[in-house]
Amino acid sequence: MMRRGLWVAAWALIILVLIMPLAVVLAEALKNGFGPALETLKDPDGIAALWLTVEVTTIAVIANTLFGIAAAWLLTKYRFPGRTSLLVLVELPLSISPVVSGLVWLLLFGAQGWWGPALEEAGIHIAFAIPGIILATVFVTLPYVVRTLVPLMEQQGRDTEEAAALAGAGFWQILWRVTLPGARIALVSGILLTTARAMGEFGAVSVVSGHIPGLTETMPLHIESLYNGYQTVAAFTMAALLACMALATVLLRYAPAFLWRSREVPK
């Protein structure tokens, strides 16, 4: 009896706190039916925002995956002075406010920044342009691949890698044939987390972007301007689209474990 009560309480909590917001997004987007909601997606500024988000996310994910693999290899396969400080530094963006993560790039490349005016004269625009958005996104998503890879690679030790090295394998061969296949689930999970965070980043991008509709507005920024402009249906339609993209990315993390497990069971 008491157990039933606890079940009901747990599900009530989950519905109230976690499902209700998702339902609100859909309800507000479809307030006037499917037609008007789909109509708002044809807005050229919205489409530009979608493509900018895809572009920035792709670049940030590729950059941070390469860095994540290199850093995880360095941090788990060798012991050297300064290793712990490096680990702390890499995780630092997680405890920095998104607004501050955007602000630091303005300090470097903004109009009042250290190198902003010089670069501006040379015709290179970073702050209030797409490069700034990319820098801020890379900064914010830097730790995710490293964080998922390091515990696993640490646990796997370096015996297999050392055996491969003794058998004459080079660096790339060891990385590609020995280390990465063993860590593929963690790697995929880290990449997916990076992707979800990169496309949803709001605070950092909002500070460096300059909010130029159709040019430097990513999806979250476009949602903000639509919402503040009282275009509720358009704002929530875009929000629903972005939420679906992010949730699907995060849920995909469960897919490889599920697939590989089901393939390995029959053996």
Partner 1 sequence: MRAFNGAAGQYHAFCILVVDGSMKRAFTQFWRGGYSALPGYRFSLLFTVFWTGFFIILPLCALIIRPWQDGVGPVVAELHDARMFAALWTSFSTAAVAAFLNIPLGLFLAWMLVRGDLPGRHIANALIDIPLALPTAVSGITLATLYSPQGWLGYPLSKLGISVAYTRSGIVLALMFVGLPFMVRTVEPVLKNLPQELEEAAKLLGARPRQIITRVIIAPLRPALLTGFGLAFARGVGEYGSVIFIAGNQPFKSEIAPLLIVVRLQEFDYPGATAIALILLLASLSVLVCLGVLRRRISAWSVGA
Footprint on residues 211-240 left by partner 1 (CB under 8 A): 219-221, 223-224, 227, 235-236, 239
Q: Does 150 bind partner 1 (CB under 8 A)?
A: no
Which residue, 87 or 267, is less far from partner 1 as judged by CB?
Answer: 87
Q: How far apart are CA 135 and CA 237, in angstroms?
A: 28
3-state SS, residue 212: coil
Which residue, 46 or 110, is less far from partner 1 as judged by CB?
Answer: 110
Within 153-212, the residues that bind partner 1 by CB under 8 A are 158, 161-162, 165-166, 170-171, 174-175, 196, 199-203, 206-207
Evaluate whether 233 touches 29 at the Cβ level (below 8 Å).
yes
CA angle 25, 58, 70 (to 5 degrees): 125
Q: How far apart are CA 7 and CA 15, in angstroms?
A: 12
Determine the interface stretch with partner 1 among 3-11, 36-44, 117-125, 147-155 (rule: CB under 8 A). 3-11
Which residue, 34 or 80, is less far from partner 1 as judged by CB?
Answer: 80
Amino acid at 169: A
Evaluate whether 70 touches 150 at the Cβ level (below 8 Å).
no
Within 89-128, the residues that bind partner 1 by CB under 8 A are 89-90, 92-100, 103-108, 110, 112-114
Block residue for tokens 């370096």: 158
Determine the interface stretch with partner 1 among 11-19, 35-43, 44-52, 148-156 (rule: CB under 8 A). 11-19
Which of 51, 118, 176, 254 binds partner 1 (CB under 8 A)? It is: 254
- Which residue in 141, 149, 147 sits closest to 184, CA to CA? 149
